[in-house]
Amino acid sequence: MKIYNTFSKTKEEFIPLNPPNVTFYVCGPTVYDYFHIGNARSFVMADIARKYLEFNGFVVKFIMNITDIDDKIIKKSFEEKKSTREIADFFAAAFKEDLERLYVKPATLHPRATEHIDDIVRMINRLVDKGYAYEVDGTVFYDISKFKEYGKLSGKNLEELEAGSRIEINEKKRNPLDFVLWKKAKEGEPAWVSPWGKGRPGWHIECSAMSCKHLGETIDIHAGGNDLIFPHHENEIAQSEAANGKKFVRYWMHFGFLNFQNEKMSKSLGNFFTTREILSKYTTEAIRLFFSQTHYRGPLNFSEDLLSSAEKGAEKIRNFALRINEELSKDLQEGEYPDFSIKSFYDEFTNVMDDDLNTPQAVAVIFNFIREVNKVLDGGAKVNSKFLEDVKKFMTDTAQNVLGIVNFEKLEGNKKEALDDKLIELLIDIRQTLKKEKNYQLADLIRDRLNELGIVLQDKKEGTSYIRK
């Protein structure tokens, strides 16, 4: 398996530090609002990378942090007259709900910055003691001039950065590019006790401290959007390697932007749609198919037309899955196993996914598989249940458990719900007959029992309808 390493700018064979264990860190959200569909692309592609590693037998410890204290959270708390904790808790819960709806597997842990203040303070202390950081009037800065390899991830030249710096001049800094590790508290803002006085951590140090705490001083994979390469990930390297004296990350993965009308989708530009908005219009399978049809490193243009097209593709996959389930429900004892190599499709899938997670080609393998199986089923040959079970297993292993573009459990749930609807309608018809026969006692009993089950009947002139409580 090869992964494109942003650090070396080449595809490298993936060899974890302690196989079969893999340590995997992804930069999570700052929880002051619902995350947008551009963020969702990064979360989904990281999820696919993690699931493919697990498909290959690796044991992945997957950490995605939550930044729960930040200027934006503080601003939101003032606007809504709520505490920063209330704001962060609400949007952290919403974040996890939306990830679940996107079929993103729960992280091994979602560490929160405010729960790791002691770890953050200890790391800053080490940097101060080693001469990489300095304190001015209660604020601690990282001195980038002391880290001689600064810029090695992004490829940015320090002298050019300094010359072209547009960063607001801060007379307290030794260098305009020095960044905050610990921010002195302002009146009315949340603050924690530290050796430098009351304050709160800077954004970059949070990820360094939390990744080190939960994954160790050297981690296998660190992932995030392209916009995080500089300065966030560059600063993480400077902090972590200076504090620990070890290589911080072995493989850097970065996801391309989701663009809208040829501009990067972002909250600052106001050209975004929340994940919740998109999930209200399109299925999860369509969204994940839309993301998977473009390689994770490349830019992806967002449009309703492209999502509608992905919905049609997802429907084809869904119809195939329904067909397999239906065939499996039949008596197939007299069928036979056709001359069909499912293993060859597994080989194709792994070959393309091993090549830096080439999901567009993996999707093509899935559609080719569906086409070839349909040919067998349409040809009139009687197949046995073993063949159909193997077909379903391939789709489950690849399309469901890695790409997330079909969900057999959801299909079974939908089938059960459809059966429930038919049974409710049958009871409504029986109740109508009972009322015509003036058997009101039994008619009312049906209504009351359905109500206890959460089904509320609504009698109107045009007939009886129902809603679920």
Residues tagged in the binding site annotation for Zn(2+): 27, 207, 232, 236
Helix and strand numbers (H, E) in the chain are 15, 15
- Dihedrals φ, ψ of 108, to 5°? -55, -35
Inter-residue contact 141 to 172 (CB < 8 Å): yes
Q: What gap in Å lies between CA 94 and CA 87, rounded to an integer?
A: 11
Q: Which residues contact 252 (CB under 8 A, 6 or more apart)?
A: 5, 6, 7, 153, 221, 222, 223, 233
Four-CA torsion 201, 203, 209, 215, nearest 10 degrees: 150
Annotated binding site: 27, 207, 232, 236, 267
Inter-residue contact 457 to 466 (CB < 8 Å): yes
Annotated binding site for ATP: 267
For residue 313, give Cα distances in angstroms to 14, 42, 319: 32, 22, 10
3-state secondary structure at position 62:
strand
**Beta-carbon neighbour count of residue 262 at 10 Å?**
7
Inter-residue contact 156 to 192 (CB < 8 Å): no
| β-pair partners for 180 | 141
Query: Is the dihedral angle over the CA atoms 230, 238, 132, 196 positive or is it negative?
Result: positive
Query: Is the dihedral angle over the CA atoms 167, 171, 174, 180 positive or is it negative?
Result: negative
Q: What gap in Å lies between CA 215 and CA 248, rounded to an integer?
A: 11
Q: Classify strands 59-64 and 179-184 as parallel, antiparallel or unpaired.
A: unpaired
The DSSP secondary-structure symbol of 103 reads T
